[in-house]
């Protein structure tokens, strides 16, 4: 993919703006001030992405080439849709030949070439609906799912790690050989069992934190590359 130019402010908007609405709570005012002065937010608006999260995926792909040659992609926890926008572009997906399926319990505005399911991924029907929606075997499974934060670090970590684990099992069940899995996690230690599982099924498993992920954020991404295929499962069951 084209290398994203991150440095600098290309929007023409002056950085360092202050929010002066004194009726707002201090915490809300600080969040809004940080948001409007975030160069990634401004670039997302300029380049037509729905969220700054687009640059996290672009930066990871620039280094690890996980989207190169991908024909079908599944996007978990997709709202508001910036990763699906990228997925649609790299797969050449169209409304007549849909190659991207996205799911979120939040409502999402329609995107060209993307089948959107407004559904909780933990719903028992979700996996089958995603496979039907994407129209074939996916080459990449993306997950930006995260549990709503409580402010308690350990609780937030465990809840998001559960989503990451469920997404990993799903990826192992549906990916084509050579495919990739990328999922959001939180700093605090990835469970040994999950890393062991992924290392059994993928040739390379690493943690990455792209530059566009805010420095103060505890989020990281777990990347499993080059799926070995389901031969391991067949051998394990003796089939």
pLDDT one-digit tens code per residue, 161-203 = 899 999 999 999 999 999 999 999 876 666 788 999 999 999 9
pLDDT band at 39 (very low <50, low <70, confident <90, very high): low
In a domain, 101, yes or no: yes
126-134 vs 153-174: helix crossing angle, rounded to 10: 50
Same-domain check for residues 24 and 92: no
pLDDT band at 143 (very low <50, low <70, confident <90, very high): very high
In a domain, 11, yes or no: no
Same-domain check for residues 90 and 22: no
In a domain, 2, yes or no: no
Here the CATH number for the domain that contains residue 60 is 3.40.50.150
**209/214 Cα distance (integer angstroms):** 9
Same-domain check for residues 100 and 72: yes
Same-domain check for residues 148 and 159: yes
In a domain, 1, yes or no: no
Tens digits of per-residue pLDDT, 42-76?
Answer: 776 777 788 889 999 999 999 999 999 999 999 99
| Domain region containing 25 | 18-48
Same-domain check for residues 42 and 135: no
Which pLDDT belongs to residue 7? Answer: 38
Weakest mean pLDDT among 94-103, 104-113, 141-150, 191-200: 141-150
Tens digits of per-residue pLDDT, 203-215?
Answer: 999 999 988 776 6
pLDDT band at 25 (very low <50, low <70, confident <90, very high): low
| Residue 74, beta-bridge partner list | 101, 141
Which pLDDT belongs to residue 31? Answer: 38
Same-domain check for residues 92 and 134: yes
Looking at residues 121-139, what average pLDDT do you find?
A: 97
Same-domain check for residues 138 and 71: yes
Contact by Cβ (8 Å): 108, 88: no
Which pLDDT belongs to residue 185? Answer: 87
Looking at residues 121-149, what average pLDDT do you find?
A: 94
Give the number of other Cβ atoms within 10 Å of residue 81's Cβ: 24
> Pairing relation of β-strands 140-143 and 180-186?
parallel
Same-domain check for residues 157 and 172: yes
In a domain, 7, yes or no: no
Same-domain check for residues 156 and 142: yes
Same-domain check for residues 161 and 185: yes
Q: Please list, in sequence order, all residues whose beta carbon lies within 8 angstroms of the beta carbon of residue 4, skipping any fewer than 6 positions away.
A: 55, 58, 59, 62
In a domain, 37, yes or no: yes
Does the pLDDT value for residue 238 go beyond 70?
Answer: no
**52/41 Cα distance (integer angstroms):** 5
pLDDT band at 35 (very low <50, low <70, confident <90, very high): very low
Does the pLDDT value for residue 36 go beyond 50?
Answer: no
Same-domain check for residues 29 and 108: no
Catalytic amino acids?
Answer: 184
Q: What is the dihedral of CA 203, 238, 136, 178, to 10 degrees?
A: 10
> Locate tokens 């934190």: which residue?
209
Q: Mean pLDDT for the chain?
A: 82
Does the pLDDT value for residue 239 go beyond 50?
Answer: no
Which pLDDT belongs to residue 18? Answer: 47
Q: How many folded domains does the chain comprise?
A: 2
């Amino acid at each position: 993919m084209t290398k994203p130019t991150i440095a600098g402010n290309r929007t023409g908007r002056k950085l360092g703006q202050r929010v002066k609405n004194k009726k707002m709570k201090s915490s809300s005012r600080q969040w809004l001030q940080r948001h409007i002065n975030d160069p990634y937010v401004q670039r997302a608006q300029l380049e037509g992405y729905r969220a700054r999260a687009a640059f996290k995926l672009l930066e990871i792909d620039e280094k690890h080439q996980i989207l190169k040659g991908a024909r079908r992609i599944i996007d978990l926890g997709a709202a508001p849709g910036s990763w699906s926008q990228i997925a649609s572009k790299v797969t050449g997906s169209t409304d007549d030949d849909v190659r991207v399926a996205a799911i979120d319990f939040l409502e999402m505005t329609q995107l060209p070439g993307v089948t959107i399911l407004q559904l909780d991924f933990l719903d028992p029907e979700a996996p089958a609906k995603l496979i039907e929606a994407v129209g074939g075997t996916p080459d990449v499974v993306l997950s930006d799912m995260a549990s709503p934060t409580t402010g308690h670090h350990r609780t937030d970590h465990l809840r998001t790690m559960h989503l990451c684990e469920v997404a990993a099992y799903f990826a192992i069940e549906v990916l084509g050989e050579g495919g990739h899995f990328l999922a959001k996690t939180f700093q605090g230690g990835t469970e040994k069992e999950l890393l062991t599982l992924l290392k059994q099924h993928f040739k390379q498993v690493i943690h990455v934190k792209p530059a566009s992920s805010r420095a103060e954020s505890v989020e990281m991404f777990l990347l499993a590359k080059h799926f070995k295929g389901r031969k391991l499962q067949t051998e394990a069951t003796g089939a």
